[in-house]
Amino acid sequence: MARKKKSDAGGIFILIVIVVLILITLVTPIVIIIGYLYNKINASKIRKRISGNMSDFWLNEQEKTDFKEKVNQLIKINDVIEQANQEGTNAGINKNKDGSFSARSNLGKKIRATLEKHEPIKSSLSDSLYSLKNLPISRWAKFNKYIKNAKSFIWSFFSWTGVLLSYFIILGKQSLSEVYIPYLALATNFFRDESNKLPIVDGDIQMVAVATVISILTYFIFGFIFKNSGSKYSPRPDKVTLENVDSY
């Protein structure tokens, strides 16, 4: 009984693996085509509005103002926190295990209140500044990703097509439609009657399997090759600082 259950479980697992592999095989060319179009269109939209210099993805005037205001606010908040800590240290106020000042004295309560009020503000300002500092890089990275993916997908499509054409010649198929019949068979034979199933001849499964594997590998290989391809159209911007915020 136990052996039968193990056998059934093993059969179900194998069936699931087969179904997943078939789905990957069928979805791969669709993902390649849609992925290329999606990334190409988005990359083209951005390329129309950039000039090929460091200002392309830089902060706009409002963002520059926000950045400078937040830097000044953070400096003031840091001064308040530093003064409160120094006051507590100079007064010899004991600290709790978590590092906070003891609130047993009035001065301790005052310092604790000051720190508890300003430290969340400091954290919020720091987070906002981090986002603004990296905003140009993140905008460029998004553009770069569109360019990289579009190129990777088109080369993946070429490799997929190349494998199918190679098998077309090797297997001696008579028309190009015969190359795509195995895909249609994999997608629909499960739902067809035995007498109505599309034929899959020797080499067809190997053909679609090789085409799928090669196209996926090509996508990742060219994704690495083109990892900084966006720099061809616009330079990767620097992090924003007070020294360079108004440079572009």
Tell me whether residue 27 is in a domain. no
**Tell me: the pLDDT tens digits for 62-106?**
999 999 999 999 999 999 999 988 887 888 888 887 777 777 788
Say whether pLDDT at 3 is over 60: no
Tell me whether residue 177 is in a domain. yes
Q: What is the pLDDT of residue 25?
A: 84
- What is the rounded distance in angstroms from the CA atom of residue 3 to the CA atom of residue 11? 12
Full residue range of the structural domain in which residue 78 is found: 32-232
Tell me whether residue 62 is in a domain. yes
**Tell me: the pLDDT tens digits for 48-64?**
999 999 999 999 999 99
Query: What are the φ and ψ backbone dihedral angles of 56, each rounded to 5 degrees?
Result: -55, -45
Tell me whether residue 64 is in a domain. yes
Tell me whether residue 203 is in a domain. yes
Q: DSSP secondary-structure letter at 204?
A: H
Into how many domains does the chain fold?
A: 1
Residue 201, SS3 per DSSP: coil
C-beta pairs of 237-241 under 8 Å, 24+ apart in sequence: 237/54, 237/56, 237/57, 237/58, 237/136, 237/137, 237/139, 237/140, 238/54, 238/136, 238/137, 239/133, 239/134, 239/136, 239/137, 240/58, 240/59, 240/67, 240/132, 240/133, 240/134, 240/135, 240/136, 241/133
The DSSP result for 100-123, as a single string, is: PBP-SSHHHHHHHHHHHHHHHHHH
Give the DSSP H or E segment for 33.
helix 2-47
Tell me whether residue 81 is in a domain. yes
Tell me whether residue 93 is in a domain. yes
Tell me whether residue 4 is in a domain. no
